[in-house]
Amino acid sequence: MRRDWIASLSLVWLCGGAAHALPFNPIDPSLPLNQYTQTTCISAGPGLPPVVSTGSCFGSRLVENPATLASVVGTGEAHADLATGTLRPHSIGRAYWFGVDQTRASGNAEAALYDTITFGGSYTGPVEIRLTIDGSFATTDTNPNVQGSEVRGLVRVISDAGTFLGADGIIVTQGNDGGVFLDLGNIAQTNANASGDFDAADVQFYVSVTVPITSTQRTIAFLVELETSAGLGFTSSVDQVKESNVDFGNTGRIAVIVPAGVTWTSGSGLLLVPEPGALALLGVGLAGLARLGRRARRA
């Protein structure tokens, strides 16, 4: 599931450009460089109006069944705020069973933001860009037979000349049994148990990339994305609407983690994200171990 998305992390961008000036916008090369955020809800396109430092959108997908006059609406809502470094997607999918078949409407929401960071002084060494995420999955289908509900987090880091430096991504999925588990991930810590399962009402994880700062590479750019998608498979045979709710509007938050005393400035002049002191308390397991345990259990 979505392995093409994870595979895309290995892409290398080789673009020329002047020192300390990106040659393209990492969110979308068609956007201007000062477009720091973008949101997309359902599949209708980018959030409007386009803005520099904050973005929001809300969209819906209506599905109707002419034979029964039954209709359902899937929704997506996303917010991105560069100044606070927050991403907030929330999507809802719905399905209506009408005796012999059903009609379904999925929901999708994505928030993305980027910035460039220049480090001051003479510091050389590692710098971490971290996206910390928490949210929940829920369904009103007591069958339960939930399909197609996911949250995906991604961090990419590139040089100021446009060269790919590193990426990490993770997918958390709600399965056909209604359980929520770590589907794909690399080094991100999570609060999943040893088998990779989450409490559906309390899903926490982080995605991070660490890159070196050198005497010749003092400016880097990062792109972070957080996306939710909600859907339902075959619901229980009751003539009523069932709902799948993927709520990560609580907050996805970015942090620039550096040693004490190291200073940096952002290209936007807006990004002010302190290192969250509670990050060390976030996780209890490694994503790789959780994924292996989950696959072993499902085999």
Region 146-159: mean pLDDT is 90
**pLDDT at residue 186, as a whole number:** 58
Report pLDDT for 21: 67
The arithmetic mean of pLDDT across residues 280-298, rounded, is: 35
How does pLDDT run across 225-259, given as a tens digit for each residue? 999 999 887 776 677 788 999 999 887 899 899 88
pLDDT of 107-117, one tens digit each? 999 999 999 99
pTM of full prediction above 0.95: no
For residue range 128-144, what is the model confidence (pLDDT) as tens digits? 999 999 999 998 887 77
Q: How far apart are CA 26 and CA 158, in angstroms?
A: 9
Q: What is the domain extent for residue 52?
A: 3-298
Report the pLDDT value the prediction gives residue 14, as an integer from 0 to 100: 35
pLDDT > 90 fraction of the chain, expressed in percent and rounded: 43
